[in-house]
Structure 1
Amino acid sequence: MVELKSTAEIARMRVTGEFVASVLTELRARAQVGVNLLELEAYVRERIRERGAVSCYWDYSPSFGRGPFRNTVCLSVNDAVLHGLPFDYALRDGDVLTADLAVGIDGWVADSATTVIVGAAAEADTRLVRATEEALEAAISVALPGNRIGDISAAIARIAQTYGYPVNTEFGGHGLGRTMHEDPHIPNHGRAGRGYTLRPGLTIAIEPWFARTTDRIITDPDGWTIRSADGSRTAHSEHTVAITEAGPQVLTRAA
């Protein structure tokens, strides 16, 4: 069931989105060579506690994971792209790190992800990250009242095709608001003009993610961390977006 939000409810989601954006900005700065993933997890946990927010990941037990998830942020390195379970690992020069954060404040949720290259960046990795960022912006630009979910999906796929990256459709974007995952599902590949019609008040997470040379994925023995099946590097960009009469409003854009 799709729930449309009022202007006041979207404003409350924006408060959460601003917090999520600020924490991800801080994580990008802290993602330095030698920093342990568990240090980053501990930092996020403390920021959430200080704010009086609630982690959407803590105790999260979906059908596809080996729950409950007992961390506050997903941290995925190199060929890992989604649901990365933080573990005892010190970041190395050239690592590609994705941080995915979803929290609730006063009952309203926002969700965002960013990929950062630690230390010296290889051009191939920079290109991959740039592709997800461009795909996200292209998708946001068509998130207009009267358009359809397929328009968002097609915009993402078009950028992937331009860069020559395959697209996985098992995991994609989704509705959100009172909880982290609501209807509708938003695949990262689809046909323009198809699917659910976008209406003012719809709030969605748009999240293109690509692996360099495959659209297949595997799951680690931890039951959570999803990787490219061939070990190729990955990247992931995500924003929470509200559909409004005035156009798309990005609720998790860094100030």
Structure 2
Amino acid sequence: MTNLFDLTGKVAVVTGANTGIGQGIALALGAAGADLALVGHLQPDETIAKAQAMGRRTLFIEANLLSIEPVERVIATAVGQLGSVDILVNNAGIIRRDDAVTFSEADWDDVMNINLKTAFFLSQAAGRWMLDQGRGKIINIASMLSFQGGIRVPSYTASKSGVAGITKLLANEWASRGVNINAIAPGYIATDNTAQLRADADRSKAILDRIPANRWGEPSDLGGAAVFLASRASDYVNGHVLAVDGGWLAR
């Protein structure tokens, strides 16, 4: 049974792995045996050091994911230097907060570009490689706001609703060709993106009061779900959005 989760010999491309959820997922994939191509605008020194301590090959690919300009280069570099792209984790993302009545076009465009547009075109570029080899795993990072409306985050809600949609769309097109596309929807995780919420005592208490697990999630809580969706254990899982939320959606 353990072999179903073994990622030895696989190459995983993970965006936004410097801290938080991306780092947690990257290290979990590394612990399961995957070599790592880490993509972003800052070199993730801590993630690289920890992955290399596990004996994993690691590669940093510098890229500004607010634009799709580096997309083809990212996949080509991963293939050229590590030999393959077997797993893609579209984790990189940003959030901007303001009332809907005053929300700016710039904040709308930036969030939609990195959270949705780049995620789709990275999936497209990796998908071409995966379809040619007849196998692959794509994991998108959705959100509780793929299911709910949220407050003061219109572009984030729209982008994460879109992530759930393209996850299903790509699964419909590619599942029969050996490529699995699924998503993880994290609940309230202690990361930079939620620092503002955690600093607000009233808002933090309201959030915790609704979570059956009665705690904020940690980035490492996403690791098991990511390894499952990246491994042979999920070969018949397609187009699913897996909530890792401490029970938030059950409330």
TM-score, length basis structure 1:
0.29
Q: Which has the higher strand share?
A: 1
Higher helix share: 2
Report 1 or 2 for greater relative contact order, CA contacts < 8 Å, sequence distance ≥ 6: 1
